[in-house]
Structure 1
């Protein structure tokens, strides 16, 4: 079984593409085989259609909070909801979500999914810092178009299985220090030192998922990449490996709302 971790961007380019870490599980170790960058959505669409078997953990939200959906009167069946969202422009989605937030009291502007709390993730309706709503808008329709299977959300090709992942959850289990920045001027030696701490902890399996990383020739690249796109993809791959290890026990996921989805490993 090929295992992938995908660090996603809603606006891929040659400067910052969609990053894929690929490997396989051997015992409790994830063997990192390759790190690839896809420069645009066409390349990502083609990659999604690669024949399986594979399992991937994707770093973008797969759904929206039920509270938000019901308040807006949007479809409460997952596939219908995603078709509705895909039919909106980014501007329409942003204005709708902003109006929702503006009508709520300070300190409780955003609605959250249940999975956000154990994962420590941003609300999937958030359109800035980080713009995860745009990532959902760009990413989920591509998964559907490619016919992959989204576990307990949408049936598809059983040989190509997609889970929602969140690399920050794994990184923060190791350290709370900042380890990345997309601005080159802020890609400091201090952040590089934190990336090395994270990689060393992954190599020991010193995190609550217990999967050990064998990075091989890719180790230096994981530490040197100041944006940490390579490292974030690898952190997602660790979650993919953890899920595959538990494939006979519901991939390690708890019971969850099939409208909202769940972040693997949370």
Structure 2
């Protein structure tokens, strides 16, 4: 199974975790076959464990910046680092990272991973707007529990489950620039953002991306994606296409899946960055 995951560290019925499930349809197309939603982390984690094999693109960071980890004297190997991080509470994470930032100069408060610059992603230690530090904290342990392998970071116990770190903003910006296409704020769910979603989907269906992949949708799916003013469903689809690009390159050199041969095995990398 191939899917993209738009993640929430505190999902609810109103703001669920969304999976866009798809399949390769020839060499250069990805067909969306369904959308699935999970209102709890537990239900999402159970689905990962119950689904026999999958390649997924997940919209949350898989690790922390090496600079931060070294400063805090936390473990310098990925598995012990993630075990330590999972043992902390969110308040402790927030206070630890806030103290790190407070001691640094304006303009350089956060530590970054090497992938942040080419991907344009938020630092994975950020705890607000968006709270990706908490997404990492909530998201990685279920991947490990499912026996997933994270290429270049971790070899899991289930060879059929592959987790790739994805970032929908990277692909969206390639297609529509910095135009906003979504908002959780009802007052900001404007006609202009609907137009941006329409343009984004049209570009995905036309295959006008450097990934060389076209998205296949039916009319009902297109309407459903456009109607989601929060953008969670489109973000899951963007992650799906990134995962498909990685799957096409599963046998590439190094860790495979199109990832760089020599990325930092503590920090991880964002597929297609």
TM-score (norm 1): 0.98
Give 1:148 deviation, angstroms: 1.2
The equivalent of 1:235 in structure 2 is 238
The equivalent of 1:86 in structure 2 is 86
Partner Cα separation in structure 1 for residue 258 and residue 190 of structure 2? 36
Number of positions where the alignment pairs a residue of Structure 1 with one of Structure 2: 265
Give 1:111 deviation, angstroms: 0.3
Is 1:5–1:22's contact at 8 Å kept on the other side of the alignment? yes
Partner Cα separation in structure 2 for residue 161 and residue 148 of structure 1? 5
Q: CA RMSD in A?
A: 0.9
TM-score (norm 2): 0.95
The equivalent of 1:204 in structure 2 is 206
- Off by >4 Å, runs of 4+ in structure 1: none
Helix, strand or coil: the match of 1:208? coil
Match runs of 1:144-159 below 5 Å: 144-156=144-156, 157-159=158-160
In structure 2, runs of 5+ residues without a counterpart are: none
Is 1:21–1:233's contact at 8 Å kept on the other side of the alignment? yes
Give 1:47 deviation, angstroms: 1.1
* 1:126 maps to 2:133: no
The equivalent of 2:170 in structure 1 is 169
Match of 1:264 among 246, 253, 271: 271
Match runs of 1:40-119 below 5 Å: 40-119=40-119
Match of 1:220 among 223, 243, 249: 223
Is 1:164–1:263's contact at 8 Å kept on the other side of the alignment? yes
Is 1:51–1:159's contact at 8 Å kept on the other side of the alignment? no
Deviations 1:35-85 (A, max 9, x none): 111110121011111333310000000000000000110000000000111
Partner Cα separation in structure 1 for residue 268 and residue 174 of structure 2? 22
In structure 1, runs of 5+ residues without a counterpart are: none
Helix, strand or coil: the match of 1:238? helix
Partner Cα separation in structure 2 for residue 50 and residue 251 of structure 1? 24
